Structure 1
Amino acid sequence: MEARLAASEEVNQQNAAKRTAMEARLAASEKVNRQNAANLAQLSSVEMRLNLSESRVEQLADKNEAQLSGVEMRANLSESRLEQLAKKNEANLAQLSSVEMRLNLSESRVEQLADKNEAKLAQLSSVEMRLNQSVSRVEQLARENADQPKVAFSAYHLGAGYIGPYSSLTTLVYQRVFSNIGNAYNQSTGFFHAASRGVYFFTFTAATYGSPQSMNIYMYKNNQQLIRNYGQNNHGGFEYMSNAVVVELELGDTVDLRLQGHSSYRLYDSSHNHNTFSGFLLYPL
């Protein structure tokens, strides 16, 4: 019995050990199950996140494809634009080359003009110097002339109708003047009086009218005959004659015109002033 009891206790001990081992294995299995459940829950969460990620990835892929397509389209447009710009740049380069050539020609022309302008400036400087000399000379002459007497006259109007005939040689009195600078001509006597020693110029025009008419005009310096002019009218209209002299006069010398005394010598005058007597100082001595 004791042997059987000992054997039974040994069996019980073995069974207890087996039960303990089984409980340990069961506890371990339950732990594994709990761990697996946690892992399954975590795996489910990961799978859900993965599904969301894959969906997001697909969306991003679609978006990226769309963006890529847009980028590609923009790239194609850019390449097309680049080609256009390249062609335009080639045209611009050709134009630039032409402009550069024209600029070179212009610069060459400018240099030529600059050289020419320098020559012109030198010539202008020379002309300006000569002009200054001329101005200086003119100013000098003006100062000299300012100190010189100024004498000039032009007289007219012997009367109305016929003048003459006279019985003797008679001084012609021109009663009016166009000008009488220096008052050297006397309208009352018909005599010109030299205001200074110098060289003078005198001229006259005489007229007669009708046929037959004659005129015989003398110019006198003091009582010295200078010239004589004779004219005869055979055609019935106006007949004119004129003459001029340059003569040296002393201060106080006189010059006058005279009509020869004779029954056939006479002049004709009217408001048209057919007869004139003029003179002026050329330069003093």
Structure 2
Amino acid sequence: MSASLAGLKVEMRYLQRDYEVKTREVELLKQQYQAHAEELLRVQTRANGTETKVEALRREGEVKRVAFSASLLTSGSITIGPFNSHTPLVFKNVVSNIGNAYNPNTAPVRGAYHFELYIYGPGHASHSTGAVLTKNGEHIVMSYEHQPSHYAKSANGVTLLLEVGDLIFLRQWKNSVIFDNENHHNTFSGHLLFRM
């Protein structure tokens, strides 16, 4: 009986050592699990940050696509002017409006923009044909032609650095006459070249 008791004690010591080894292994696994959980949390945080940046870049990419073209009339024909002062021109026929920047004509992002204007009118001894592109009400460039007969046409273009909210529009030159019909002779176009 004492031999069997001694054998049980030896076996118990082996089991005790085995238990201690397994306990250390479990403790090590817990530490590894904790380290993996922390790493997973860091990866998740970075992934969330990346998703936010990707969404911001996507929105920025949408804003980068800014371009419009419009003509004076949707249908019919009209002679506009002469007026005693510069008069805002309203371009009612929107041909394209990428980025929704035409109405109102305020710059959605800071950047370099290019604008073009084409003006057409009847020749007249007393009245020219002309329009002015303005930035926040300031005269920037003019498209102007004066001839006594036939039709007059002129064009101009400019590249401007605009801040968010800057307002760009055209004014008919005082004492001038503009004509338009279904051929859409008078157009105003602009597009964002690049952000600044």
Cα gap change, 1:161 to 1:148, in 2 (>3 Å): closer
Tell me: higher relative CO, structure 1 or 2? Use CA pairs within 8 A at least 6 residues apart: 2
TM-superposed CA distance for 1:229, in Å, is 3.1
Name the amino acid aligned to 1:230. Y
1:192 paired with 2:109, answer no
Identity %: 37
Match in the other structure for 1:221: 135
Higher helix share: 1
1:229-267 CA distances to partner (integer Å, 9 max, x unpaired)? 321122x322110000000000000111111222xx110
RMSD between superposed Cα atoms in Å? 2.2
1:161 aligns with 2:161: no
Write out aligned runs for 1:245-260 (5 A). 245-260=158-173
CA contact (8 A) 1:208 1:233 kept: no
Q: TM-score, normalised on structure 1? A: 0.45
**Which stretches in structure 2 are left out of the alignment for 5+ residues?**
1-56
- Runs of 4 or more, structure 1, over 6 Å off, are 142-145
Q: Secondary structure at the match of 2:146?
A: strand
**For residues 118 and 143 of structure 2, what CA distance do their matches in structure 1 show?**
10
In the TM superposition, residue 224 of structure 1 has moved relative to its aligned partner by 1.5
Q: Aligned runs of 1:260-271 on 2, under 5 Å?
A: 260-262=173-175, 265-271=176-182
Asked if the contact 2:130/2:144 (under 8 Å) is kept, the reply is yes
TM-score when normalising by structure 2: 0.64
Note the residue ranges of structure 1 that are not aligned, 5 or more in a row. Answer: 1-141
Q: Is the 8 A contact 1:153 1:178 kept in 2?
A: yes
Task: Flag the 1:260–1:211 CA change in 2: closer, same or farther, 3 A.
Answer: closer
Change (3 A) 1:195 1:148: closer
Q: Is the 8 A contact 1:153 1:278 kept in 2?
A: yes
**CA shift for structure 1 position 167:** 2.4
SS at match of 2:84: coil
Q: Distance in 2 between matches of 1:143 and 1:261?
A: 44
Greater share of strand: 2
Contact 2:129 2:152 in 1 (8 A): no
1:100-146 Cα offsets, whole Å, 9 max, x none, are xxxxxxxxxxxxxxxxxxxxxxxxxxxxxxxxxxxxxxxxxx98973
Amino acid at match of 1:180: N
Shift of 1:171: 1.0
Matched, 1:151 2:66: yes
Change in CA separation of 1:194 and 1:210 when aligned onto 2, cut-off 3 Å: same
Q: Aligned residue for 1:78?
A: none
Q: Given the superposition, is the C-alpha separation of residues 147 and 177 from structure 1 closer, same or farther in structure 2, using an over 3 Å criterion?
A: closer
Letter matched to residue 154 of structure 1? S
Query: How many pairs were matched up?
Result: 137
Cα distance in 1, alignment partners of residues 193 and 177 from structure 2: 32
Q: Partner of 1:192: helix, strand, or coil?
A: coil
| Structure 2 residue 191 is matched with structure 1 residue 280 | yes
